[in-house]
Amino acid sequence: MQFLLTYEIIKIQKGVVDIRITGALINAAAILAGGGIGLLLKGRITDKFSQSLLRVLGLCVCIIGITGAVGGDIMLLVVALALGTFCGEFLGIDNGLNRLGLWAQGKLRQDGEGNTFAQGFVTASLLFCVGAMAIVGSIDSGLRDDQSIIITKSIIDAAAAMMFASSMGVGVLFSALAVFIYQGAIELFAGFFQDVFTDTLITQISAAGGVMILGLGANMAFDMQNKIKIANLLPGLVFAVAYYYVFMR
């Protein structure tokens, strides 16, 4: 019997909406597994090993991003990502998220072991939920039942959870709940609009997301002095949809 990490709330058959949160379950389970291993290996994971692992995973993410971006319309990618970057920079999305993370960590960084749980939970949740892979992967999972991006993200998150749990403890494992709620909500929302998002539109959205994923992989794999602010590119997904309906449909 084939084992599937699939949770179906409602099965679509004529006029009934099919709601699945497969990707969210896979990602949450990976974080729990990686965090559990991290707790077992607490104090034994060196910085050198951690850096090497993340760089290799970053190269794999680059390949995923390139593969996804190849199928996109060039003009759509240029226009959508340029406008998205402009809006992201204007709104300061990346800086805002960084300030939020620093504020949360500052509030939780106090003496005493009782705060370690909360610090691990907040830090890991921010890392796992903020990023293009979480959004694009959940859309692909919800609309096309394609978990390729989510599985890649899950491997990365499991490795990160392992490293975080080894230093910050069991609170990191509870970030799986935040991932499940956040990505599950995106999958559910995408499912309600499955008739609106055509295969061609999904290809274009995935292509724009692929460029962002490529940037995320580059940040992980290469020791660049100025990192690409991936969060500032996220509005490009909205502009990709707008470009498609205005110029391509």
Residue 101 has pLDDT above 70, yes or no: no
Residue 3 has pLDDT above 50, yes or no: no
- Nearest one of 118, 91, 36, 128 to 234, comparing CA atoms: 91
**60/154 Cα distance (integer angstroms):** 13
Residue type, position 194, single letter: Q
**Highest mean pLDDT (candidates 19-23, 61-65, 122-126):** 61-65
**203/216 Cα distance (integer angstroms):** 19
- Nearest one of 217, 214, 215, 207 to 239, comparing CA atoms: 207
Provide the pLDDT for residue 87: 95
Provide the pLDDT for residue 76: 95
Q: Structure pTM?
A: 0.70
φ and ψ at 10, to 5 degrees?
A: -135, 130
Residue 173 has pLDDT above 80, yes or no: yes
Banded pLDDT at 108 (limits 50, 70, 90)? low
- What would the mean pLDDT of 204-231 be, rounded to a whole number? 84
Residue 21 has pLDDT above 70, yes or no: yes
Q: Per residue in 206-216, pLDDT tens? A: 889 889 889 88
Residue 11 has pLDDT above 50, yes or no: no
Banded pLDDT at 169 (limits 50, 70, 90)? confident
- Nearest one of 157, 186, 198, 195 to 34, comparing CA atoms: 157
Provide the pLDDT for residue 163: 80
| Arithmetic mean of pLDDT over the chain | 79
CA 100 to chain centroid, in Å, comes to 18
**27/32 Cα distance (integer angstroms):** 9
Q: Per residue in 59-83, pLDDT tens? A: 888 888 898 888 889 999 999 999 9
